[in-house]
Chains A and B, each alone.
Chain A
Amino acid sequence: MVPARSLAVTPGSLTTTDFPWIIEHREERCTLCGHCTAVCPKGAIRLAHLRQRLPKLELFSNKRGSEYRTFTGIRQETDPAKLCIGCGMCAMVCPNEAIGPVAGTNENRTVFFDNRKGEPLKRGGRRNVSGPTLLDRMLFTRISMLTDPALDAGRHEFSTTTTIGRILSPEAFLERTLRGEWIPPTRDIFPFVIGSMSFGALSPNMWLGLLQGVAYCNEVLGLPVVMCTGEGGCPPWVLRSPYLKYIVLQIASGYFGWDEIIRAIPEMQCEPAAIEIKYGQGAKPGDGGLLMWFKVSKLIARLRGVPEGVDLPSPPVHQTLYSIEESVMKMIQTMSMAFGHKVPVYPKISASTSAKAVLNNLVRNPYAAGLMIDGIDGGTGAAYNVSMDATGHPIASCVRDCYLDLTAQGKQNEIPIFAAGGIGKNGNVAQNGMAMIMLGASAVHIGKYVMQAAAGCLGNEKNRCNVCNLGICPKGITSQNAKLYRRLDPDKVAERLAETFMSINTEMKKIMAPLGRSQSLPIGMSDAIGIADKAAAERLQISYVC
């Protein structure tokens, strides 16, 4: 045995089997074209020059017995900084199926090095817990069997829209109509909203593709889909375009992009769909938005009114105000006024045990147009891993409590609750969304699902990829590097988005028809759902089925 000193072993020395993703390279197929090493976003593979000894037995010669061959091959880096993220881009570009990542089966040693330079792991994606979610386990059990004829999802007319905006009580509505007084603005929208993903977090091509797709859904398919900008403003030409009506503008604690928006108000051709004031986010409660310097390109810098190449962390709270109650009240009022009281304004908070308190404040605020609650399974472009994995509250029980609270006050029609966080985590987007609606949500927001469905995002809850924060998105979805985002064709994203929403719409009808519902979205129809989990059924006040 060799003394340890003579080997270059440092605390960070690991071998590939310690890694979550191991590259398998089949030398005999490789033509050394170099595509894989060029495409790898992490520099996790390199072209290596290797030397092989070929021992030779020469009995009748006094020459030394070995010969050496040098050759080139592809090898995985073992520096934790160059960890393979399993994105599979190398496999995608290899013309000979010579390379690809496989999930490591050994325990993952690299997690112990996720704190290099004293910085804990930051990443994109969402809570790394895989397997069926609570929403995945919900069944639509109240099938309308006794009374024929049943509904036909393919032929009957279904109303699948919902309302965003403060709704008056019927009495107040009639009284105000009679007196010609102000009626709060509302919009009829598709109940699956593209959740807030900023221009900055997303690449220009991704954003453009989404916008194009949304316009197509509205103008050609007749599906009133809206998308939320996230914090970071909105391109000036969009602000002045007729597409603004499909956009929910978000204002968050960094106020990025709002100079541009305020300046554009007099020139707007139409009103935005709504204004979302972000107080919290499910993926990282108590933390502000974060755009890391890699992604602050010239375009982003201009849009946000900041210098290029600096980290843009938004503060966790809206600094200018004392308490959340006051903040919510004043900001909602101010934003509502800025748009002539013609645009619904609602806050977004992270799901928490205190959500009900916020909701009850909103009930008393005549300008509050709803409440958006984002649960622990929500995605993000950048956050500390610990926030994502361990901080927050699951969405289902939080929304259910809020809905039941409103119901007890007879206000469930007046303040719509929007739910987000893990809707479609395992692909069951319509089922998850409709289950949330039956628990009491008026609509759901989907972000990560849209990236996965419309742009082929590779991230998952086994921590595959999830490098959205670094600006090296191999699909060009969350990168500001033109070399990368040019990989993403906005037209294709738009096409996929339209396909996605068409299919959600059909699945909604397939869920509603057997329940005998077609006239209105089954909001709060809790008698329709059941779950084979006693504790969950009791907590959510739905039926236990087995």
Chain B
Amino acid sequence: MCRLALKTANEPFSPYEVLTAMEAMQEGYDGSGLGLLLRGIEFEDFRYNPLFPILSGIAHTEKAWHRVTEYMESRGYELKYDHRFAMKPELIDADDRFRYFMRAYRMPKEFRDRSHNERESELLRTRLALRKLGRDEDKVTVFSFYPDVAMIKEVGWPLQIGDALCLHDGQIKSRVCMAQGRQNTNYGINLYACHPFFIQGIATMTNGENTAFVPIRDWLEGTKFPGYVGYQSDSEVFTHILHYTLKKLNLPLQAYKHIITPLSTSELDRHPQGEFLRGLRQVCRRLIIDGPNAVIGTLADETCLLVMDQKKLRPAMVGGRDGVWAIASEVCGVDALVPDRDQALDFQPMREHTVIIPPHRKELEIWSQHDPLPLPLAA
């Protein structure tokens, strides 16, 4: 079982805060890895324009590093900012980490006036091309390439990794931070297997085991969408299903829950849009997840969400106050992230709930699968 923590606040904060809060839940992970995702980013030494895509990843050798730099130039990206971590490499177990990069670029000229979709798909293609750039001996790992999103993944204890990258120095702050302390379940330790997973502005991380992984993966790969690749972890499909729901099917966020854990036939019989949802369940049958899971996600507009598996076999908790909210696997995680809140308003979602923290962060939206779906088409 992994441990998850998410904090979202109007005032940017340091990711180190989230790492310290994770310590409260430390018996839940085995030090096999940490994943961090930041949104709403501020750099201490640079006025970042949130339209610039940020490339995050690791160049494992100097050669690999040059290859990345050259590739980005040749593709027409203009480097605007290159964040340098004040490193303590001795705290990192692995020895092939030439450079952690977090670089802001300006889009190539020809893309500046293109539609949002075209720009997004260019960013995705670039990220995938960079992933392929690495060789066996000169590896490149790329986590994300998207405006206002930065990611770090590393093998080891979360706090130790934070110290290694000096995340406490206040150089980077963000309004949203997702963190996962990994406990290795299925597959070998691999940087790409660390949560959160990211695709075109959408990110999720999961605590659990997705037992329906193989059939879901097979189906997603069958869509031939270029971004549906990777799958070093069974949880990566959660991100891709969310992406598919929002971007390919153009359905509202609430439909996600109906796709991954649809209601039973008898429940649908009583639902105002039962017929539509029954159809949706059938056409998306291969995307039904299984096993114990708590899925935490964030979207490009800084919306945060939390959903559970159909039987609620995993714990997860949300709490906070106007302007600052936290989601964590355990209540002690929420306590550490937002201590000064009214605990009576904490919420543990049940199997039918989707908890949404909207970008304004004033209050939680708790939406149940039994509620009507906010969907003109299904009415």
Partner-B contacts on A (CB < 8 A): 142, 144, 146-149, 151, 156-157, 159, 161, 163, 167-171, 173-174, 177-178, 183, 186, 188, 407-413, 515-520, 522-528
Contact A520 B285 (CB under 8 A): yes
A170 to B290, CA, bound (A): 20
**What are 19 A-B pairs at a CB distance below 8 A?**
A144-B209, A146-B185, A148-B1, A157-B264, A167-B283, A170-B283, A171-B249, A407-B218, A408-B222, A515-B211, A516-B292, A517-B290, A517-B291, A518-B290, A518-B311, A519-B261, A522-B215, A525-B215, A526-B214
Chain B residue at smallest Cβ distance from A162: B285
Chain A residues with Cβ under 8 A from B317's Cβ? none
Contact B209 A516 (CB under 8 A): yes
Partner of B185, one of A147, A169, A177: A147
A405 to B224, CA, bound (A): 14
Chain B residues with Cβ under 8 A from A169's Cβ? 283
- Given A169-B283, A413-B285, decide whether A147 and B290 contact each other with a Cβ distance below 8 A: no
Chain A CB within 8 A of B344 CB? no
Partner-A contacts on B (CB < 8 A): 1, 185-186, 208-209, 211-215, 218-219, 221-224, 244, 248-251, 261, 264-265, 276, 279-280, 282-286, 288-292, 310-311, 313, 377-378
Chain A residues with Cβ under 8 A from B286's Cβ? 412-413, 523
Partner of B249, one of A157, A174, A412, A519: A174
A411 to B209, CA, bound (A): 26
Task: Please indicate which of the listed interface residues A171, A519, A527 has the most CB atoms of chain B within 10 Å of its own CB.
Answer: A519
A49 to B193, CA, bound (A): 85
A522 to B378, CA, bound (A): 29
CB distance from B41 to the nearest CB of A (A): 33
A163 to B218, CA, bound (A): 19
Chain A residues with Cβ under 8 A from B212's Cβ? 517, 519-520, 522, 525
Partner of B292, one of A147, A159, A410: A147
Partner of B283, one of A144, A159, A173: A173
For the complex of A and B, list the 7 residue pairs with the smallest distance between their C-beta atoms, beginning with the closest: A410-B222, A516-B211, A147-B209, A173-B283, A520-B288, A527-B214, A516-B291
Chain A residues with Cβ under 8 A from B214's Cβ? 524-528
Chain A residues with Cβ under 8 A from B1's Cβ? 147-148
Chain B residues with Cβ under 8 A from A516's Cβ? 209, 211, 290-292
Contact A519 B290 (CB under 8 A): yes
Contact B222 A519 (CB under 8 A): no
CB distance from A340 to the nearest CB of B (A): 18
Contact B223 A410 (CB under 8 A): yes
Chain A residues with Cβ under 8 A from B222's Cβ? 407-412
Instruction: Name A's interface SS.
Output: loop
Chain A residues with Cβ under 8 A from B292's Cβ? 147-149, 516
CB distance from A505 to the nearest CB of B (A): 15
- Given A516-B290, A525-B214, decide whether A410 and B209 contact each other with a Cβ distance below 8 A: no
Contact B289 A410 (CB under 8 A): no
Contact B185 A186 (CB under 8 A): no
Partner of A413, one of B249, B265, B283: B283
Contact A171 B248 (CB under 8 A): yes
Chain B residues with Cβ under 8 A from A188's Cβ? 265
CB distance from B102 to the nearest CB of A (A): 33
Chain A residues with Cβ under 8 A from B261's Cβ? 519
CB distance from A479 to the nearest CB of B (A): 40
Chain A residue at smallest Cβ distance from B224: A410
Chain B residues with Cβ under 8 A from A523's Cβ? 215, 286
Partner of A177, one of B250, B264, B311, B377: B377
A224 to B282, CA, bound (A): 16
Chain B residue at smallest Cβ distance from A523: B215
- Given A171-B248, A526-B214, decide whether A149 and B276 contact each other with a Cβ distance below 8 A: no
CB distance from B180 to the nearest CB of A (A): 15
Chain A residues with Cβ under 8 A from B249's Cβ? 170-171, 174
Partner of B280, one of A159, A173, A407, A528: A173
Contact B313 A149 (CB under 8 A): yes
A167 to B219, CA, bound (A): 14
Contact B215 A173 (CB under 8 A): no
A520 to B282, CA, bound (A): 11
Chain A residues with Cβ under 8 A from B250's Cβ? 174
Chain A residues with Cβ under 8 A from B264's Cβ? 157, 159
A528 to B282, CA, bound (A): 23
A160 to B111, CA, bound (A): 49
A148 to B213, CA, bound (A): 17
